[in-house]
Amino acid sequence: MARTPHDRRTFITRTVGALGGLALLPSPSLLLPRLLAQAKSVRVAVIGTGRQGRAILTELQKIPQVEVAALCDRSTARLDNARARAPKAALVQDHRALLEASPDIAAIIVATPTHLHRAIVEDAIAAGRHVFCESPLAATVEDCDAMAAAAASAKTVCHAGFQGRSNPTYRRAQPLVRSELRDLVSWFGQSHRKTTWRFPAGEGETDQAANWRLDPAVSTGLAGEVGAQQMDVAAWCRGSYPSRISGRGGIRLHKDGRTVADTIEVDLTWDDGVSMRYEATLANSHGGAFELVHGINGSIRFAWTHAWLFKEADAPTQGWEVYATRQQVLDQEGIVLIANATQLAEQGQLQAGAGLPHPSLYYALMDFLKSVTEGEPVACSFQDGARSSILGIRANQAVMAG
């Protein structure tokens, strides 16, 4: 996607309301992850300076060891808009010229429209650069496979931008899907955001290029551009991918001549019969974005800045739960899923209503940079990123076919 999961804090404000307990913050080590003090400065180029590229630059500004050395985009207007976030960066309009002229730039962050990712990623890998590519990786299965193959042979770090795998609250919750919920019953996910997806073309840009998400020839629709990020959470937690997909969609609000659905429903089914219903819309904002998994012993709600465990009345109580911090969430008592919650509460480090101090994008970029500077394993490989991207592509095909 080339987006961060949206309206997270709005979702918390609207659905949680007055908190009955202490709200979620991660442990100190996760709260403000940093590169090692001795880590060398990393020279980075951001290719694609639209909305997601500018969001990336905002997060990179928080990391002292990062020097944004270059910005690249075909549009001079977008480059000018991004300049304020990286005033010392060189401005370039062709990524190949950038790679040839700046061998000292170690890391390339790709945030162009999805269907343009492949050529840039392959060129960057061939030039020996570390690569972070926004999700989804590509708009076709062929491109996903090619990018995964290129990354498999690379001697540099290749990180796919599926943010749930880097999110501290999701990392805390992920192992509990198996250990606490036991046998799974079902999954649900949604992304509700009332917005248009249509934008004015910049200077020298065609309307088709500016609104590529609405072009069925290159767009993976809501299922790919938004849903792949959230479907990946389920696949990551389960350690496997669904084998059957059905979908449907339509235009509920934006009757402006577009043919890409503004509202979709997708059903994903695994080999063991467990299914996930996924809904996304650009026509309604209620509930924001979240994922919910039900098991015979309880449920876990993932809400990007927060996560909670809700136990069934007949489920056994684990020792750690006795000291866990709890909140009233949607008229139920949930255990907030954070490390060292009791210790943090005693130290006064939990604040009512607070969530993660940064968006998930920050943590994904930080994981990438830790892999580059400290040799840490990537949080999401291109191989896993390709699988989840293909999942979104197939879901979009199901929506279009009904």
Percent of the chain at pLDDT > 90 equals 77
CA angle 350, 232, 385 (to 5 degrees): 115
Q: For residue range 1-13, list pLDDT tens digits in order.
A: 444 444 433 333 3
Report, as an integer, the average pLDDT of 274-294: 98
Average pLDDT rounded to a whole number, residues 268-273: 98
Average pLDDT (74-103) is 96
Residue 91, pLDDT score? 97
* C-alpha distance across the termini of the chain, in Å: 22
pLDDT in tens, 326-384: 888 888 989 888 754 555 555 555 544 446 889 999 999 999 999 999 999 999 999 99
What sign for the dihedral angle of Cα 83, 86, 87, 88? negative
* pLDDT value at 14 more than 70: no
**Residue 296 CB: number of other CB atoms within 10 A?**
12
Distance CA 292, CA 276 (A): 9
- Mean pLDDT value of segment 214-223: 98
Six token digits for residue 351: 């604040």
**Is a pLDDT exceeding 90 seen at residue 208?**
yes
Continuous segment of H or E residues that includes residue 139 = none
Higher pLDDT, 15 or 233: 233
Report the mean per-residue pLDDT for the chain.
89
Q: In the prediction, which pLDDT does 202 show?
A: 84
- 36 — pLDDT class (breaks 50, 70, 90): low
Q: What is the pLDDT of residue 19?
A: 26
d(CA 253, CA 262): 7
Higher pLDDT, 227 or 322: 227
- The enclosing H or E element of 266 equals strand 263-269
**What ranges in 61-140 are assigned the alpha helix state H?**
76-82, 95-101, 117-126
Q: The pTM is what?
A: 0.89
328/63 Cα distance (integer angstroms): 35
SS3 category, 372: helix
Closest CA to 144 of 112, 164, 166, 114: 114
Sheet holding 90-92, edge to edge: 90-92, 66-72, 42-47, 107-110, 130-134, 158-161
Q: Give me the pLDDT at residue 354, please.
A: 43
Q: Name the CA dihedral angle for 165, 169, 171, 174, rounded to a multiple of 10 degrees.
A: -100
Question: 3-state DSSP: the chain helix, strand, coil percent, rounded to 5?
Answer: 40, 20, 40
Judged against a pLDDT cut of 60, whether residue 391 lies above it is answered with: yes
Please check the confidence at residue 128 and state whether its pLDDT lies above 90.
Answer: yes
- Given this model, what pLDDT does residue 355 score? 63
125-145: buried (b, 16+ CB within 10 Å) or exposed (e) per residue? bebebbbbbbbbbbbbeebbe
What are 240-256's pLDDT values in tens digits?
999 999 999 999 999 99
Residues forming a β-bridge with 247: 266
Confidence of residue 195 (pLDDT cuts 50, 70, 90): very high
Domains with residue ranges and CATH for the chain:
8-25+165-356+379-401 (3.30.360.10), 31-163 (3.40.50.720)
Give the number of other CB atoms < 10 A from CB of residue 206: 10
Q: In this predicted structure, what is the pLDDT of residue 292?
A: 98
Q: What is the average per-residue pLDDT within 74-98?
A: 95
